[in-house]
Amino acid sequence: MSKYRSEDIQVLEGLDPVRKRPGMYIGSTSSTGLHHLLWEILDNCVDEALNEHCDTIEVTLGKDHSVTIKDNGRGIPVDLYRNTKKSAMEILFTTLHSGGKFNQDNYKVSGGLHGVGMAVVCALSEKLVATSRREGFEWTQTYSRGKPTAKLKKGKPTRIYGTTVYFKPDGKIFPKREFNPKLILERAESKAFLNKGLKIIVNENKNKHMFHYPGGIQDYIKKIVGQKTTLMDKPFYVEKEDKSLRLEAAFLWTPNTDTQILSFANSIRTVDGGTHETGFRNGITKAVRAYIDRRKLLPKDITGITGDDVREGLIAIINIYLQGDVEFQGQTKGRLNSEITSQVEAVVKHTLEHYLNENQTLGNTLANRIILSAQARIASRQAKEAVQRKTNISHRLNLPGKLADCATTDKDQAELFICEGDSAGGSSKQARDRKTQAILPIRGKILNVETATMAKILANTEIQNLISACGTGIGDKFDYSKLRYGKIIIMTDADVDGAHICTLLLTFFYRYLPKIIEEGHLFIAQPPLYRIDAGKKIFYALSDEEKDEIIEGLNGTAHEIGRFKGLGEMPASDLKETTMSKKSRSLIRVTLDSAERASKTVNQLMGKNAESRFKFIKERAVFVQDLDV
């Protein structure tokens, strides 16, 4: 037995805990965590704007993976901090839980609350330069990995105020340091929408983008809706302010079935919702129910309206500003925990119910749309029950007949390959590891679930087989604990038809089994297009570019090139080595970074609006070099 003594215990001081366990402070060291550094500094600038000290923020992306963020706020204090010999600036950048937001006299409203943001950015940057413009001068100090590398320097005189922070993320912490301009532009635009009158400028690759929206979230929701058909001429807008809370919400309904609710607290996107979103949901549900009951619009065949009925087709933005102690869940602030559900619910219910009663033509239109949702829900449930009864008497364990299941019952070891057609299924069954790999062939292109009704979806044989194989069920019958495979792998031919089938499958999983994507279980296989034989050496290429690189690397060595027409015509040995063997294959994990962006993209590419799809293709046609037709 190894000895465990007091000298084995470590006490991490200063910012060492951040560098030792960065995931505790920024979620991960992936792209998400990298961008979280930028969000921390940007949010500090926005806090200055929220408190009416700043009206312009400028973000500049450097070619050396650096970011510079500048505002015209009050500037960071530079006087000595209490009884120390350090400036307030140095304390803020080198000490956890330090900041001016614990005292409401400095910041009545704030998104940064824990006093760790600036220090965390400093700890995880190989270089950080902070410049404060105040007291009539520029004051600058440099840091590296959480420690100052120079003393605070008094610079040139200036009459303007503000803060500039330059930081370069540490390559020892982040495997990849490339910032995503598109993601940053979306975040900057979102902040400008949420703060009426705030101007945010983003400079990237010699391009300058400016965001400035006097209409605030009313402009925001118009952008989200875009060319979609709506049931209202303009968004319904509510704004309410008292001593502790300022609430604004904008929302409308569309004929579509998907729901999109974006919630924010003190300009922070609460991706996991929280008490404000719960209050909003409750408020609109109770307002609509009260209107329908008052007008006696509910048909006899419907016992009641649910929250899901009300929210079907809803696009909404709710933005609140809280003073005092604001409770977020964790440093990444994904969920709001402050007890404001009843306050938000009361405001939304009262204002919406009053508006519907004052505008009965619109009220009746919305009521009819919601009643249709309820009728569709009831019809869908009946269809599900019919399918369930049919499945229960079909074959053992309710598994589809075409499924070649694996032997293991350990979900973490089990893998399901969804392949295209019986021919590919035959090759896959020969190439698989029978112990851990199951094969489910599907027939051609499955139903496009984005444009189909639930009843039609559940009646489709291929969809039934997919649901049965996964084991979880869908909709209100979904049970994540019954998932039968740790990896579900879409394996289609490396051509246009294969890509289309893959897209249809991704649409199905995203719309009806999103938990499988969120938990990291869905993957896309990477079968090669070419096999290149050069003597005793064999090479595989996923694309024409990769093939050309391999041939160039052979330096004239005699070789033969074979092109795989599809998985069904690929020898089982090649399929195993390149695509299925855990030792040599390459998989792409399907992830979901932004529910808002994903929903918009799926609807644009797979929905009923052909005009939107044509516009998308037209805008991107210039980037296509080789077209496989």
pLDDT in tens, 521-562: 999 998 888 899 988 888 988 888 888 889 988 888 888 998
pLDDT for 205 = 87
Given a cut of 90, whether residue 499 has pLDDT beyond it is no
Active site residues: 420, 493, 495, 497
Given a cut of 80, whether residue 409 has pLDDT beyond it is yes
Q: Would you place residue 387 in the very low, low, confident or very high pLDDT band (cuts 50, 70, 90)?
A: low
Distance CA 23, CA 26 (A): 5
Q: Is 224 helix (H, G, I), strand (E, B) or coil?
A: helix
pLDDT for 605 = 76
pLDDT in tens, 186-242: 999 989 998 888 999 999 988 999 999 988 999 999 888 888 888 888 899 999 988
Residues 162, 269 within the same domain? no
What sign for the dihedral angle of Cα 559, 560, 566, 570? negative
* Single residue among 175, 209, 243 that ends a domain in this structure: 209
Question: Of 2-11, 114-123, 375-384, 442-451, where does mean pLDDT reach its minimum?
Answer: 2-11
CATH of residue 232's domain is 3.30.230.10
Check residues 380 and 9 and name the one with the higher pLDDT: 380
- The DSSP code sequence of 571-594 is -HHHHIIIII-TTT--EEE---S-
Question: Of 128-132, 447-451, 608-612, where does mean pLDDT reach its minimum?
Answer: 608-612
Question: In which residue are the tokens 């470590």 written?
Answer: 10
Enclosing domain of residue 197: 16-209
pLDDT in tens, 65-84: 999 999 999 999 988 877 77
Q: Would you place residue 408 in the very low, low, confident or very high pLDDT band (cuts 50, 70, 90)?
A: confident
Asked whether residue 384 is domain-assigned, the answer is no
Q: Would you place residue 271 in the very low, low, confident or very high pLDDT band (cuts 50, 70, 90)?
A: confident
Rounded alpha-carbon distances, angstroms, from residue 558 to 260, 540, 554: 57, 16, 8
Residues 409, 493 within the same domain? yes
Contact 414, 484 (CB under 8 A): yes
Q: Taking each helix axis as running N to C, give the angle between helix 360-392 and helix 461-470, from 0 to 180 degrees, rounded to the nearest 10.
A: 70
pLDDT for 237 = 93
Asked whether residue 388 is domain-assigned, the answer is no
Residues 100, 25 within the same domain? yes
Strand partners, 239: 248
CATH of residue 42's domain is 3.30.565.10
* Single residue among 209, 226, 242 that ends a domain in this structure: 209
> Is the whole model's pTM more than 0.85, yes or no?
no
What six digits make up the tokens of 267? 């300009």
- The DSSP code sequence of 251-300 is EEE-SSS--EEEEEETTEE-TT-BHHHHHHHHHHHHHHHHHHHHHT---T
Average pLDDT, the chain: 84
pLDDT for 114 = 35
Residues 265, 289 within the same domain? yes
Asked whether residue 557 is domain-assigned, the answer is no
Given a cut of 50, whether residue 356 has pLDDT beyond it is yes
Given a cut of 60, whether residue 101 has pLDDT beyond it is no
Residues 265, 137 within the same domain? no
Residues 170, 98 within the same domain? yes
Residues 59, 202 within the same domain? yes
Of the chain, the percentage scoring pLDDT greater than 70 comes to 87
Strand partners, 541: 530
Question: Of 5-9, 161-165, 414-418, 432-436, where does mean pLDDT reach its minimum?
Answer: 5-9
pLDDT for 569 = 79
Given a cut of 80, whether residue 364 has pLDDT beyond it is yes
pLDDT for 59 = 97
Residues 414, 273 within the same domain? no
What six digits make up the tokens of 432? 């698989």
Contact 420, 485 (CB under 8 A): no
- The DSSP code sequence of 290-352 is HHHHHHT---TT-----HHHHHTTEEEEEEEEEBS---BSTTTT-SB-SS-HHHHHHHHHHHH
Residue 19 has φ and ψ, to the nearest 5°, of -70, -30
Rounded alpha-carbon distances, angstroms, from residue 472 to 41, 184, 466, 477, 534: 42, 36, 10, 8, 47
Domains identified in the chain, total number: 4
Question: Of 81-90, 527-536, 610-619, where does mean pLDDT reach its minimum?
Answer: 610-619
